[in-house]
Every structure is written in structure tokens, then in C-alpha cells.
Chain A
Amino acid sequence: MRIEIDNVAKGYPRADGSRLSVVGSLSTTIEAQEFVCVIGPSGCGKSTLLGLLGGLRRPDDGEIRFVGERTAAGPLTSIVWQDYALIPWRSIADNVGFGLELRGVPAARRREVAREHLTMMGIEAFADNKPHELSGGMRQRAGIARALASDPEVLLMDEPFAAVDAQTRTLLQDELLQVWSKHRKTVLFITHSIEEALLLADRIIVLGPRPTRVVEEIRVPFPRPRTRDVELDPRFTELKRHLWAQLRDATLAAEWAEAKGDR
């Protein structure tokens, strides 16, 4: 399905009664089966935007529309969380089957689907373990397996690899590319890594400081199927430099704002 984000605004009430405007009238469209990365300075409202897309909060203004025939059996979106958000008292398999359980899929079928997705992510050996017994990378593989097993129209990923170590992140990026090339779901992927965005995305949306709006959208020219070799392409370096120039000032400004306690 296509997502139309139409003049969406969102703020939070401040302690003094005024309102902190986080997302300022933001518009863009994400095409069906497109892989879009969003980058922007920290605290600019990326997670807030993701929460709006995931149906966790309502926009103060504007509208989010999912357009097109439904092609998946599950929820409109499922989120892959930066800190995994696995249920600690459930086994990995029961975590992965959670989305199916919510819509009443029988247990036998749930187990089957869970196993399928665990195998796809290479962690079928941990099906019966509890989350705290797994490394960060393994947990996030389970997080991705849960999101995909619930069969959403759109996959929303909020800096999913930010909490794992650099080597594991590299592996997870490669695995995500592989998995995505099979199911081709629409993906909105938030990251603060320009390299990650260039490796994964069809299109990169650059957000500005708070109240955030779209500063720039660029198309990533590398053909698919992609591998890490795109980093050797001279256009990679050029785009990287260009994106960093876009982000640099906004990042500095955000750091100053945070230091001054303007939250």
C-alpha cells in the first residue's frame, strides 16, 4: 500500500502548559514496495513521526492515508523497535507469534509461521529461549521476525540497529537486504547513519530540526540486488558528502538546543 502523509503536524504539551511543536506540517508519499530511509538530527521528531504512522498517536493536524488494495493479512504496520520490545516472559517463538495470536490464529499455525520466520532470520535454534538469554543482535533478529510474521502492509523500523555493535550491525544490514528482496514490503526505516541509508534505501528523506519537515528527498541510484560493494561506487562518496552537509548544521543546532534544555 502507498502511504500519503498530508500536512501532518504533532506536538506535545510542555510542563508550563505551552506546546512543543515536534512535527511541523510534513508531507510526503511513500510508494508501495518502496524502501525509504529517514534521516534527521536527533530529537527532531523521527520517532514521533513513526508513532503517527504506526497508529500509536493521532496527528494534531493533517492526515495519514494508506492507499490501495490490502495485500497482507495482518495489521497496517508493524514496528521494529530500537530496543527490541520483546516480551521478557515469553519464549522467542511465542514473541514472534504474538501478532498472529492477537488476531486469533490457532496455536499450531502460529508455531509454524514463527518457525518459518525464525529460520529465515537464522535464529531457529533460539525458538525456546527467553529474550534475556540472547545477544542484542539475536534479539533484533527476533524483533524483525515478529514484525514480518505478523504480516503487515508496511514495515516501520526505528533505528533498529543503533543498539548493536558495529560488526553485528553490518551483518544485520546484509540480512535485511536479503530478506527484503524476497517479500518486498513497503519499508520506512529511520536511521542516523548516512551509510546505512545509502546501502538500504530506494529513497532517502532528510528531515530538518524541530518542528521537523522534509528538507530534501533524494533517490538512491544503486541497482538491486545490492551488496556492500555500493560503498565503492564514487557516487556513494558524493551522496554521503552531500547528505552530511545537509545534516551537519541541523545536528549542531539540535545539540545546542538540547544543551540549553529546550526540549
Chain B
Amino acid sequence: MSEQSVPTRERAPDEPVVRYAVDPRAERPPGRGFKLLSSGLGSMVPVVVVLALWQGGSMAGLIDKTFFPAPSECVQALVELFSSGELLPNVGITAQRILLGFLLGVIPATLLGIAMGRSRWVRVLIDPLIAITYPIPVVAILPLLLVIFGTGGRPIVVLAGIISFFPAVVNAMSGVLQVDERLILMARNLGAGRQQILWKIVLPGALPSIFAGIRLAAGLALLGTIAGEFLAASDGVGSMTWRYWQIYQIDNMYATLAVIAAMGFFLTTVTLRVQRRFFSWTEGQS
């Protein structure tokens, strides 16, 4: 090929020229400060700032100490609750209730959701029941649970179970329904039977959605357990919160709230890790 096969023409001096004025902000990369703040450790900065403001405001008398005792006092209260041996057994009790309630809700919910996704008969029979019961605020049936299961841990576990049932069943069903129909046809063409399609296509395909439901359920099991303990328990972290509120030991109340928050944080982080680890393929398609 010749290098000058297409001759070009010089621009005449008076030819008008137009250029775009591209907004330089459109492609500015994130700066160093932003990167620092969005890193793992950097994300602690806003938390620390708020706590520091709170501490400072409290010490300067700008914040009402009766409702917002300084963080340092809450930490002290937490240490005392821990060293007096009161805290850990109650954390154990609450954790056990969360876990039992979670399993009680999630296992039948996932199985039922899968059955609903696979069979239009099961779906048409169960769907109306879920539609009617879903909107009921489950805490409202706590009195009923107390009548049925008596006092103690059992009604609380059942409450946590019922609350975590719903997101798990709905997500399992929609996960199964959303499995790529073409993959099912592909498998059938290659000779797959119903069982093989279920185990090799439908369940793995629905797994990310099933797991998303399970994550929601874990959070709700915690919520249900704490709410139940507020109202109907004499042990567990939730009942401690409630009790310290009633006897007006606000710093102790905050200490128990911090423990609940930590349990919630632990739940979301662990489940998120599992999700990232096992379901990273969900980002791509066929």
C-alpha cells in the first residue's frame, strides 16, 4: 500500500473552526482525599467525627446529658456491664433467639418459595395467604403468641421466625420464577429430566435471590427478637435496654443499644461477605 494514497488539503486561513468545550469535571478522577475517606479505615472518619462532636457538646453542656450522656460515659457503662458478668449471658441468650427464629422462619420459607416458583398450583394456593398476612405488623400479634406459647423465650423465637419468613419466601419464589427460561430449554434438549433441571439449573440460578432473601431475613430476625425482648422478656439484651430505660439508667441503656447495633453490624457484614464470596458470578450473563 502506498502511504500517500489519499491526498489531504491544507486548511485555508479564513476557514471557520468550531471546537467542543467539554466540561473538565466530566472526566475528573476521584482525588486523594476522596479515596482516603472511601477506604475501609477512612469510612470510620464520619463516625468518629459525630462521636467527637457528641462528646464535646456533652462536656460543654450544649447537649442535655440526661438523654444524651457523653459517649465516654456510655463506654464506661458498657465496660461495667461486661465486667459485672451481666452482659455476656444476655448477649448469648439474644443471639440464640435470633438464630433459632431465623432458622424457624427461613427453612420452611425457602422450601415453600421454591415450591411456589416451580408449581403454579402451589403458587395460586399460597399467594393469596401471603398477600393477606404480609402487611400485618408482626409485633401486633405478640399478645397472641404470648397466649399460645406462654412467657419466656418461645414466643420471641416464634415472632422472629414469622418476621423472617416473609422476605425469604418471596425472594425464593421470585428467584425461581426469574431463572432464564432458555437455560431450561437448553437442558431439556440435552435430555435433562425435571429433577436434573431443578438441581442443575433452577436452584443454582435462583440462589442469589434466595440468598438476598435470607440476608433480609437475618436482619429481621434480629429486629423481631429485640422487639419481642422489649415487650415480653426478662432476659436478653433487648430486655436490658428496656429495663434500663424504665429505671432511668440512660448510660446503661445506650451501652446495650451499642451492643445491639454491633450484633446487627456483624450480621450484615458476615452475610455480605458470604454473598460476595459465592455469588460473584451474578454480575455476568450467559
Contacts and interface: CB of A to CB of B under 8 A. Distances in A.
Interface stretch (B31-39, B94-102, B251-259, B277-285): B277-285
B284 A131 contact: yes
A150 B186 CA distance: 12
B187 interface: yes
A102 B196 contact: yes
A132 B188 contact: no
Contact of A133 (B183, B185, B189, B284): B284
A88 B205 CA distance: 9
Interface of A: 51, 54-56, 74-75, 77-79, 81, 83-89, 98-99, 101-103, 130-133, 139, 150
Given A81-B182, A88-B286, A130-B284, A54 B189 contact: yes
B193 to A, nearest CB: 8
B210 to A, nearest CB: 13
B201 interface: yes
B191 interface: yes
Contacts of B192: 102
Given A75-B191, A102-B196, A130 B286 contact: no
B281 A81 contact: no
A87 B286 CA distance: 6
A88 B180 CA distance: 10
Given A83-B182, A102-B196, A88 B285 contact: yes
B278 to A, nearest CB: 10
13 contacts: A55-B188, A75-B191, A78-B190, A83-B182, A85-B185, A85-B186, A87-B183, A87-B204, A88-B284, A88-B286, A89-B281, A102-B191, A103-B191
B190 A130 contact: no
A150 B286 contact: no
A87 to B, nearest CB: 6
Given A87-B201, A88-B284, A132-B283, A56 B185 contact: yes
Contacts of A131: 284-286
A103 B286 CA distance: 23
A177 to B, nearest CB: 24
A85 B284 contact: no
A-B pairs, 8 with minimum CB distance: A132-B284, A85-B186, A99-B190, A75-B191, A89-B281, A54-B189, A85-B182, A79-B189
B191 A132 contact: no
A70 to B, nearest CB: 13
Contacts of A101: 200
Contacts of B196: 102
A85 B191 contact: no
Contacts of B286: 83-88, 131-132, 139
A140 to B, nearest CB: 11
A102 to B, nearest CB: 5
